[in-house]
Chains A and B, each alone.
Chain A
Amino acid sequence: MDQIEPEALYDERGDVTWARPLLQGDVFDGIVLPGFGDQPMKVQIVNHPCAMRKGPEMLPRITVAPVGPHARVQGQGGWDGNLRIMPLPDLADGQHHATKFVDVTAAPAALLTRAYRIATLTHQGIYVLQQRLIKHYTRLEVPLELLRRESAPVLAEAVQQWDWIEEILSEGELTDESVIAAEAKVFDDWLSEGEPSRRELLRQEIHHTDIRKQAQRAARDRARTRDH
């Protein structure tokens, strides 16, 4: 099993940009999880990115796992020996946490808003989470390179959407969920254009640079011409 240091695990902690779409590995705080009492708690999205949305819309319920304080998991022995958790070292307030896979449940998507998001993972961090989830459920150990290849198209799309939103929306608009959702829809429509569509082209790495260049140009054109 692979281990990962906090610097490589987290993309952001604390103040997380709203432009980034919700993804596997995102951690939220202040969520009252149905069936887990009345106290707000931390949760982590464990859904694969492919299983979170239908088109640009989030599914009504998202699979999450509760996150709680946990002793720091150290060394290869620690990462190999704690298969029921995803270690989240230095997650918040200088404390170490862990995601508890045995308590995985479904949360209403409406609860998981950007205002409550306190951490996002790097791509490498997402692969480590996927590796641990697979091991927990099946005892199968999958190398990160394989997970990287499997996830490449969907993560490329997510990063491109992030880029699009950040390029087009103003600072003020980037704190409004409905404006972000509307712009995500515009991006989704743009990605669906063409025959084959840009989304289909994004499924092959050889087209990634072309699609990125097109998206950058289209986003800049839209930023110049759209009505605020």
Chain B
Amino acid sequence: MTVTAGEPTGTSAGGVADYTPSAPSATRARSLHADYLRTHVDTLGGEVYELQGEARELDLRDRTFEKTKKSVPTLLEELTVERGMGWSDIAEVVGVSISAIRKWRKGGTASSESRKGLARIAALLDVLEEKGLVQDPAAWIEMDLPLDPGYFIRPLDLYLEGHTSALIDLAEQRQSVTQVLDEVRPDWRDNRSDFEVFVDSDGERSIRQRSE
């Protein structure tokens, strides 16, 4: 589409037809071209984002499938002894009690769903480490995200809510923490606590009202 300076661009009397653009035609043409490119890139970006999400999920599924070939005690050995993951975090991921998991370590029977849950978190920790940006993935997932005081959100919470791809985005630093949270937990800012945790005079943690 070519627009000439001073010529009406609409068909109605008044309104757009009376408007006289001030920019030279070459600038407007460039602006329109930039708009077109931006739209194209945005569309392409969305498609690539979706494609990457699907590819990540497939990769994680493949890795999970490989991990499920291991016995439950072997998976637990990998998670607790090699990775140093906490029993309480593993229990939360699989949705059973700590005692139940500890019995599996000694030969107790786990459901196939539980076994898959163990395999999937083990696979995710591998992915996070292989990306090279998280040296100790088991530690990273249990630490609170770097947010203003009063927010207590861990990568593990995002995993438990099913936001695995967003979690990998965070590890790869493709998006900021707030961008990721805006996307997966739009109301996260509403849950800021008026309190904070601090180290008390006896060396133990306590809770107090935030001073700001």
Contacts and interface: CB of A to CB of B under 8 A. Distances in A.
B122 to A, nearest CB: 14
B195 interface: yes
Contacts of B82: 213
Contacts of A20: 99
Interface residues on A, range: 35 or more
B207 A146 contact: yes
Contacts of A146: 152, 193, 195, 197, 207
Contact of B139 (A124, A149, A155, A205): A205
B203 interface: yes
B88 interface: yes
B143 A143 contact: no
B152 A216 contact: no
Nearest to A210: B84
A26 interface: no
Contact of A166 (B84, B92, B102, B206): B102
Given A122-B91, A146-B197, A203-B203, A11 B98 contact: yes
A35 B65 CA distance: 59
Contact of B97 (A10, A145, A213): A10
Interface string B55-89: 00000000000000000000000001111111110
Given A10-B97, A142-B195, A212-B86, A150 B143 contact: no
A209 B138 contact: yes
Given A154-B204, A213-B81, A12 B87 contact: no
Interface in B180-212: 191, 193, 195, 197, 199, 203-207
A132 to B, nearest CB: 15
A148 interface: yes
A61 interface: no
Interface of B: 80-88, 91-92, 97-99, 102, 136, 138-139, 142-144, 152-153, 191, 193, 195, 197, 199, 203-207
23 contacts: A11-B98, A11-B99, A50-B204, A123-B88, A142-B207, A143-B152, A143-B191, A145-B193, A146-B195, A146-B197, A149-B144, A151-B205, A154-B204, A156-B86, A159-B86, A203-B203, A206-B139, A209-B84, A210-B84, A210-B139, A211-B84, A216-B80, A216-B81
Given A203-B205, A205-B143, 20 more contacts: A12-B99, A17-B99, A122-B88, A142-B195, A142-B207, A146-B152, A147-B207, A150-B206, A152-B205, A153-B204, A155-B88, A163-B87, A166-B102, A206-B143, A208-B86, A209-B83, A209-B84, A209-B139, A210-B84, A211-B84
